[in-house]
Structure formats: C-alpha cells, structure tokens
C-alpha cells in the first residue's frame, strides 16, 4: 500500500499542475531493479527532465546509472528526487533531494490504530502522515518569480 499511496500522491500533484507522467518504470524496491528501470526510462530520447523514485536507495541506484553509464549530469541534465531521507541521501556525491515523513508520526498513528483494534474498535480508515521535502543538489533550484519573469 505504501508504494500505491506514494504513486497516487505523485500523480495527484502532477494532475493539479496540469501534467502527466512522461514514462513509468518499476524498480521493485531493489538496487538492481532500480538500475534496470533507469536504463529503460532513458533507453530512448527524448529523456525525461526529472525522475521521482519511490525510495532513496533506488534513487541512488538510478543516479549511478545516469552518471556512470549514460554520462548525464544530475541535476543539469536530469533531476532526481527520492523518498525517505536515508543517511546516504545526504552523502556528498549524491546530495539527493528527497521527501520525508516523520517516523514518530507514523509510529504514533500505528500504535493508535492497534490500540483501537485491541479495544474492539475495528474501523477501517486511512491515516495521512504529512510529508516535507528536503532540498539538496539533485534537482535544479526553483526559479524565483523575478528570475522567471526575466526569462519570459
């Protein structure tokens, strides 16, 4: 369900912006699977401008393929965004921009749901844990409104 919710959230935000996914591949939450997915995504031109990867370890695998096999520059040629903010995401050679959820909030919500079930309150419900983005160097900086105007 985590994968489905992440993808749904990604697609919802694209739709709100009037966009649709350019291409889609599945890395099956493995390093080698993510490498193969990156090879497929960038197997033909035109290349995507950016990729959103379902977790940071797969994003790191994708970055390795983009840089080392395809000779692309991150973020100049392609932006990469991951999910989870694992410690490796902050390493100097990756500086991965990533989405993170509060582990404490997820644990608290899980404990609350389990407690409800133990009390016989078997209400099926979704819990939404807010996310935030950790901006690093794997995406181009956002243009300020002044910069955007000067390019028009």
Residue 152 located in a structural domain:
no
Residue 90 located in a structural domain:
yes
Q: Confidence class of residue 147 from pLDDT cuts 50, 70 and 90?
A: very low
Residue 47 located in a structural domain:
yes
Q: Confidence class of residue 90 from pLDDT cuts 50, 70 and 90?
A: very high
Residue 148 located in a structural domain:
no
Q: Percent of the chain having pLDDT more than 70?
A: 91
pLDDT, mean of residues 76-88:
97
Residue 147 located in a structural domain:
no
Residue 11 located in a structural domain:
yes
Residue 151 located in a structural domain:
no
Prior bond to 75 cis, omega within 30?
yes
CATH code, domain with 88:
3.40.50.2300
Domain count, the chain: 1
User: For residue 87, what is the DSSP state?
Assistant: G
What pLDDT was estimated at residue 50? 95
Going by C-alpha positions, the residue among 19, 15, 36 that lies closest to residue 27 is: 36
The verdict on pTM exceeding 0.85 is: no
Please give the structure tokens belonging to residue 40: 């497929």
Please give the structure tokens belonging to residue 110: 């899980």
* Residue bearing tokens 């410690």: 87
Q: Which domain holds residue 41?
A: 2-141
CA angle 64, 90, 59 (to 5 degrees): 35
């Amino acid at each position: 369900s985590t994968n489905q919710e992440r993808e749904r959230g990604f697609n919802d935000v694209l739709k709100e912006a009037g966009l649709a996914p350019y291409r889609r591949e599945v890395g099956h939450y493995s390093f080698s699977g993510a490498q193969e997915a990156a090879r497929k995504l960038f197997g033909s031109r035109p290349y995507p401008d950016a990729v959103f990867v379902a977790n940071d370890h797969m994003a790191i695998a994708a970055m390795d393929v983009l840089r080392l096999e395809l000779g692309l520059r991150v973020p100049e040629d392609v932006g990469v965004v991951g999910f989870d903010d694992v410690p490796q995401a902050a390493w100097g050679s990756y500086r991965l921009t990533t989405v993170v959820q509060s582990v404490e909030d997820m644990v608290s919500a899980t404990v609350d749901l389990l407690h409800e079930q133990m009390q016989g309150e078997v209400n099926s419900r979704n819990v939404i844990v807010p996310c935030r983005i950790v901006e690093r160097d794997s995406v181009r900086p956002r243009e300020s409104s002044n910069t955007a105007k000067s390019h028009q």
